[in-house]
């Protein structure tokens, strides 16, 4: 009864869709700030790279929740027949429930936060019931999310029951809402996997979802959720006001706008395709084209509507949110085309900015350098960068390197230089990597991290620590670099250096589980297995999902001769990080100890499939073949280890012994 009275009171309040969506956006922003402050690597952002943080905090995640908000309104509309504005009023207040999740997670994780990911694809549908296993920890659902979603489902039942007084429909409501939430969580990876489902295996879903014409993964997510939001809006309006939808999507009246933006895209595609053929493989490119055409239709329609009407507000929201997904140049040009169409004569002049907007979909920040390619080198430069980034994300570092070297020969760029250094790093050419990264005059976060890693892997630990200290002086996420210093010191049994870095990292808010794990690694390398096990257990008490601590605990068991317990811990770690090549390597070592050579071989091959540039995996395969009597294959693996790292001494010694 109290809930019914509250809903009736909310429904009597004044409301505009523009204010409603701004309120929802504010609620989402509060949630994101709370969540990212604990989960992310810097305050008010999920990433230490500012552009990534901007899209995640202000575009990607808001669009995810706004899409959910809009779809739930549609579901309630279909089930209750209630007025859309009344439902939207109630839903706006109901959205405050999402602020609960990060607060619960902060408490449940003891300050560590939860690193959550989207579900892997439609195949996950067989596991959606696991959300309700409230006695178990889940990888894709934190305790805060579970409470948040449970409250949404309970609220869905009561809202529909209050409106219909029908138990069956009320029970159906939370089931449908839960499926909508599931679809949103599975949607990005499902779309990214479309080429894989169609038999195209040359590009990984990660390369499609993170690369393409948008170099920031959050932009690709935003395109997906923009389209999903618009679809829900169109369906909702078509139920309540069919004539409105017919007017909006009157292609005859919008033909000039549609043709203009389409020609801009086609022209951009014509220029870029010879340098970047992957553009036609990504399903997100086709979604982007479709969305840009819808935006062109909306621009044409919005210029004919009064500013204070609901139709204007809804279309304006759709244009601005979707436009952000495509970047600031596209959004600016679209807004210019609206102003020209609405206020200037003749109104057909708007075809020019909308044509350039279509072109900018592909060329982004280089739009005005390439739209009139007096020098085709500018187009080639953009194409080589896109191709290099796609290969980089795909793990094809040698191909990525070739494209980045070509791009740098056309025009030197710090970003390209950084990628060249990272390519050398990922192919095991550590000296060359350091040389290339040192050339960068004003290093950013990624450069410092990559250069430090190059020194670490090359055994130059003092240099690595000095690089990380320099990064701290430049105020690049000091907390993370103190952790890196502690890790290097731990690895090399430098106790005082490690403790100093750990203390500073702790004061800057580093989660306790990570610090305990670093200390545990130190004791493990020192041979103090009892203290190592104690520290790993302390780490896991704060964060049971720490794959590094599970792996460390497993390897401690292995050193104690407890191979069964060791395997159990590593399997838990693989559940959390199924694509971690290092965990597979450790698992393979355990299988060798158990004389399960076939299992060990398969495990090392899995590791190499994830990361083909690791000498230890090849060396361990060589050991297996040597033990099983396949000397030629053993020599081949040892040689491959040297191909990755020419200075890898164990492989050199083995080759020398086998050739005697």
Q: What is the pLDDT of residue 234?
A: 85
Query: What pLDDT is attached to residue 156?
Result: 95
Residue 1 confidence (pLDDT): 64
pLDDT, tens only, 182-212: 999 999 999 999 999 998 888 989 999 999 9
As a whole number of Å, the end-to-end CA separation of the chain is: 89
Residues whose CB is less than 8 angstroms from the CB of residue 312 and which lie 6 or more positions away in sequence, other chains included: 302, 305, 306
Residues comprising the chain, all counted: 660
Is residue 236 very low, low, confident or very high in pLDDT (cuts 50, 70, 90)? confident
Q: Find the range with the poorest average confidence among 32-36, 46-50, 275-279, 281-285.
A: 46-50
- Shortest CA distance to 558 belongs to which of 522, 579, 578, 583? 583
pLDDT reported for residue 45:
67
Percent of the chain with pLDDT strictly greater than 90:
56
What is the phi/psi pair of residue 394, to 5°?
-80, -5
- 361 φ/ψ angles, rounded to the nearest 5 degrees: -55, -35
Residue with the bigger pLDDT between 153 and 1: it is 153
pLDDT the model gives residue 485: 95
Choose the weakest-confidence range: 6-10, 149-153, 259-263, 589-593: 6-10
Average confidence (pLDDT) over 212-233 = 91
pLDDT at 625: 92
- pLDDT of 37 > 80? The answer is no
Q: Residue 209: its pLDDT value, please?
A: 92
Cα 566 to chain centroid, rounded: 31
More confident residue, 528 or 36: 528
Instruction: Determine which helix (DSSP H) or strand (DSSP E) holds 451, and give its type and residue range.
Output: helix 445-457
pLDDT at 307 over 80: no
Residues 6+ apart with CB under 8 A from 491: 456, 461, 521, 525
Arithmetic mean of pLDDT, 608-621: 86
pLDDT > 90? residue 375: no
Can you list the alpha helix ranges (DSSP code H) found in 458-546? 461-473, 478-491, 495-507, 512-526, 529-542
Q: What is the pLDDT of residue 41?
A: 54
**What share of residues in the chain are helix, strand, coil (percent, to 5)?**
80, 0, 20
pLDDT in tens, 461-489: 999 999 999 999 987 678 889 999 999 99
Of the ranges 43-52, 209-218, 279-288, the best mean pLDDT one: 279-288
Report the pLDDT averaged over residues 123-147.
Answer: 81
Flag whether pLDDT at 102 surpasses 60.
yes
As a whole number of angstroms, the distance between CA 35 and CA 45 comes to: 9
Residue 552 confidence (pLDDT) above 60: yes
Residue-level pLDDT at 43: 53
- Is the whole model's pTM more than 0.85, yes or no? yes
Q: Which domains does the chain have, with CATH numbers?
A: 1-192 (no CATH), 205-216+236-411 (no CATH), 579-660 (1.25.40.10)
Query: Using an 8 Å Cβ cutoff, are 546 and 583 in contact?
Result: no
Tokens of residue 88, six digits: 């939207």
pLDDT interval class at 287 (50, 70, 90) = very high
Query: Is the confidence at residue 271, as pLDDT, over 90?
Result: yes
The confidence score (pLDDT) of residue 111 equals 76
- Tell me: the pLDDT tens digits for 491-541? 888 999 999 999 999 888 888 899 999 999 999 999 999 999 999 999 999
In this predicted structure, the answer to whether residue 144 has a pLDDT above a threshold of 60 is: yes
Q: Read off the tokens for 444.
A: 């950013």
Q: Is the dihedral of CA 37, 42, 44, 47 positive or negative?
A: negative
Average pLDDT over residues 615-619: 89
Torsion of CA 464, 543, 130, 135, to 10 degrees: 170
- Quote the CA–CA distance of 383 and 454 in Å, as a whole number: 28
pLDDT at 588: 93
Q: Render pLDDT for 553-579 as a digit per residue (tens, 0 to 9).
A: 999 999 999 999 999 999 999 988 888
What per-residue confidence (pLDDT) applies to 207? 92
Burial of 308 (0-12, 13-18, 19+ CB in 10 A): exposed
């Amino acid at each position: 009864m109290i809930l019914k009275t509250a809903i009736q009171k909310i429904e009597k309040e004044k409301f505009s869709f523009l204010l409603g969506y701004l309120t929802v956006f504010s609620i989402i922003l509060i949630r994101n700030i709370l969540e990212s402050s604990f989960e992310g690597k810097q305050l008010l952002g999920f990433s230490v790279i500012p552009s990534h943080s901007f899209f995640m905090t202000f575009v990607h995640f808001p669009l995810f929740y706004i899409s959910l908000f809009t779809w739930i309104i549609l579901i309630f509309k279909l089930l209750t027949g209630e007025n859309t504005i009344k439902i939207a009023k109630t839903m706006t207040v109901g959205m405050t429930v999402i602020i609960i999740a990060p607060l619960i997670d902060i408490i449940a994780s003891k300050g560590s936060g939860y690193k959550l990911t989207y579900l892997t694809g439609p195949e996950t549908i067989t596991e959606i019931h696991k959300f309700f296993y409230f006695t178990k920890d889940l990888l894709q659902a934190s305790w805060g999310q579970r409470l948040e979603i449970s409250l949404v489902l309970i609220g869905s039942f009561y809202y529909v029951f209050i409106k219909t007084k029908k138990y069956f429909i009320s029970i159906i409501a939370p089931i449908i809402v839960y499926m909508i939430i599931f679809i949103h969580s599975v949607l990005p990876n499902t779309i990214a996997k479309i080429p894989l489902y169609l038999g195209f295996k040359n590009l990984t879903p990660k390369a499609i979802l993170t690369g393409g014409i948008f170099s920031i993964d959050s932009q690709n997510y935003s395109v997906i959720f923009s389209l999903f939001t618009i679809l829900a809006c169109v369906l909702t309006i078509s139920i309540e006001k069919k004539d409105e939808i017919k007017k909006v999507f009157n292609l005859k009246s919008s033909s000039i706008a549609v043709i203009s933006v389409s020609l801009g895209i086609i022209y951009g595609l014509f220029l870029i395709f010879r340098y970047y053929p992957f553009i036609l493989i990504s399903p997100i490119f086709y979604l982007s084209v479709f969305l840009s055409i819808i935006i062109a239709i909306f621009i044409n329609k919005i210029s004919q509507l009064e500013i204070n009407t609901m139709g204007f507000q809804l279309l304006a929201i759709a244009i601005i949110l979707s436009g952000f997904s495509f970047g600031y140049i596209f959004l600016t040009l679209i807004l210019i085309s609206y102003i020209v169409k609405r206020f200037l004569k003749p109104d057909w002049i708007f075809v020019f900015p909308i044509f350039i907007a279509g072109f900018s979909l592909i060329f982004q920040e280089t739009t005005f350098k390439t739209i009139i390619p007096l020098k085709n080198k500018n187009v080639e430069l953009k194409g080589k960068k896109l191709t290099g980034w796609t290969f980089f994300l795909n793990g094809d570092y040698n191909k990525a390197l070739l494209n980045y070297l070509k791009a740098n020969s056309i025009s030197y760029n710090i970003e390209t230089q950084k990628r060249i250094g990272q390519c050398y790093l990922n192919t095991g050419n550590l000296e060359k990597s350091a040389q290339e990264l040192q050339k960068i005059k004003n290093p950013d976060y990624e450069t410092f991290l990559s250069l430090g890693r190059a020194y670490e892997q090359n055994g130059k630990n003092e240099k690595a620590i000095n690089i990380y200290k320099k990064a701290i002086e430049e105020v690049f996420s000091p907390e993370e670099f103190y952790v890196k210093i502690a890790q290097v010191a731990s690895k090399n049994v430098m106790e005082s250096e490690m403790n100093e870095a750990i203390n500073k990292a702790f004061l800057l808010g580093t989660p306790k589980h990570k610090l305990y794990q670093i200390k545990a690694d130190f004791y493990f390398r020192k041979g103090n297995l009892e203290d190592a096990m104690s520290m790993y257990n302390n780490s896991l008490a704060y964060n049971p999902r720490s794959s590094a601590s599970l792996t460390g605990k497993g390897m401690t068991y292995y050193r104690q001769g407890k191979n069964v317990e060791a395997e159990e811990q590593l399997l838990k770690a693989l559940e959390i990080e199924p694509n971690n090549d290092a965990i597979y390597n450790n698992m393979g070592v355990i299988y060798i100890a158990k004389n399960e050579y076939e299992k060990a071989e398969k495990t090392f091959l899995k590791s190499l499939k994830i990361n083909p540039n690791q000498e230890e995996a090849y060396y361990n395969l060589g050991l297996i073949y040597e033990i099983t009597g396949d000397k030629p294959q053993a020599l081949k693996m040892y040689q491959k280890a040297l191909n990755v790292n020419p200075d890898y001494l164990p492989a050199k010694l083995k080759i020398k012994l086998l050739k005697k």
